[in-house]
Amino acid sequence: MTRLTAAPLYAASRIRAGALTRSELHRIDPERDWNPALLDRLTGETQTGESAQD
């Protein structure tokens, strides 16, 4: 089971607001291995029509 922290949700909200780009994610947490698929889902950029509430 993967442990989810608030960092991806915070990052997604900043990306959606235009205050952060994906290339700037290191500013939030430079040690984190950012999951692009999770960020897609949280920002609503999922191309498959999946819900972020799986």
The tens digit of pLDDT for each residue in 13-37 reads 999 999 999 999 988 888 888 999 9
Above 60 in pLDDT, residue 6? yes
Instruction: Pick the more confident residue, 48 or 18.
Output: 18
Domain that holds residue 21: 6-43
Q: Is residue 48 part of a domain?
A: no
Give the chain's domain count: 1
Q: Is residue 50 part of a domain?
A: no
Q: What is the pLDDT of residue 52?
A: 47
CB 23 within 8 A of CB 2: no
Q: Is residue 19 part of a domain?
A: yes
Q: Is residue 49 part of a domain?
A: no
Q: How far apart are CA 51 and CA 33, in angstroms?
A: 22
Q: Is residue 51 part of a domain?
A: no
Of the candidates 15, 5, 19, which has an alpha carbon nearest to the alpha carbon of residue 40? 15
Q: Which two tokens stand for residue 37?
A: 């698929």
Q: Which two tokens stand for residue 8?
A: 């991806």
Give the E-state strand segments of the chain in sequence order. Answer: none
